[in-house]
Amino acid sequence: MSVYLQCTLFHFHGMKFSAVKKRRSDCVITMKALNTMKVRDENRLVDPLILFKRISILKKSDAQLKKYLEYELAPYPLALFDEKGMRKCVKSTLYKIFPESDLTQYDKTKSTYVIDAGFLLRKILWERGETYKVTCQKYVERHYGQICFLVFDGYDDTRLSTKSVEQNRRCRTYASVEAIFDESTVVTHYYTNPIHEEKRN
């Protein structure tokens, strides 16, 4: 709970409902409301991105642009948000920032691997009749040896996670059934795409 919300609730503590009066500053302001301005007694919607593009085109010098940017043009960072909400992240862009390493110089026998277990559920070839535990162990021992850790980075509450926006975006176009299992569950069919099943046949 934020400090602002705690202060707001403390202000109403002990008051009768009929006596509660909300101030305008206590109301939630949406992004759409922050993007409006009053022109000739009429509220008009202002797109910060279009405004920035027009300033960039009409500027006569970099010094003039610097002067314009002294004022806050947007109520939220445009690098993170657009008119629809949070921008879709591109993980490959972050990956390109890291310098390349020569992996041939490393002693793989003395290395410890941390593996995304969710990746194993989608990519490995399943043997019918085996449990999830046996299938994962066989794959990990074959490719990474004995010194490794499988990590299931799930979230108890997706509404509070950093991936909630991306998950909500994907659920609009893709949907799947809920699969409940543990390490002793026997694999009865393939959870990957049909191409993996064809490789086994």
Q: Do 53 and 115 share a domain, yes or no?
A: no
Q: Do 18 and 80 share a domain, yes or no?
A: yes
CA angle, corner 81, sides to 77 and 84, nearest 5?
145
Q: CA-CA distances (angstroms) from residue 87 to 77, 80, 129, 168?
A: 11, 6, 43, 12
Q: Which of the listed residues 18, 52, 86 is the one where a domain comes to its end? A: 86
Q: Is residue 97 part of a domain?
A: no
Give tens-digit pLDDT for 62-87: 888 888 877 666 666 767 777 777 77
Give tens-digit pLDDT for 165-200: 777 777 777 666 676 777 788 876 655 545 544 444
**Token digits for 146?**
């004995």
In the chain, how many domains are there? 2
Q: Do 189 and 146 share a domain, yes or no?
A: yes
Closest CA to 179 of 115, 116, 118: 118
Q: Which of 21-30, 48-57, 89-98, 106-115 has the lowest mean pLDDT?
A: 21-30
Q: Do 74 and 137 share a domain, yes or no?
A: no
Q: Do 57 and 126 share a domain, yes or no?
A: no
- pLDDT on residue 170: 73
- pLDDT on residue 72: 67
Q: Do 133 and 71 share a domain, yes or no?
A: no
- pTM, 2 dp: 0.35
Which domain covers residue 76, as residue numbers? Answer: 3-86
Give tens-digit pLDDT for 11-56: 776 777 777 777 766 676 665 566 677 777 887 777 777 878 888 8
Q: Do 82 and 107 share a domain, yes or no?
A: no
Q: Is residue 96 part of a domain?
A: no
Q: Is residue 93 part of a domain?
A: no
Q: Do 127 and 190 share a domain, yes or no?
A: yes
Checking if the pLDDT of 140 tops 50, the result is yes
Q: Which of the listed residues 30, 56, 86 is the one where a domain comes to its end? A: 86
Task: Indicate the SS3 state at residue 176.
Answer: coil
Q: Do 69 and 114 share a domain, yes or no?
A: no
Q: Is residue 45 part of a domain?
A: yes
CA–CA gap between residue 169 and residue 163 (Å, rounded)? 10
87, 80 contact by CB (below 8 A) = yes
Q: Is residue 69 part of a domain?
A: yes
Q: Is residue 80 part of a domain?
A: yes
Q: Is residue 78 part of a domain?
A: yes
Q: Is residue 152 part of a domain?
A: yes
φ, ψ at 107 (rounded to 5°):
-90, 105
Q: Do 109 and 183 share a domain, yes or no?
A: yes
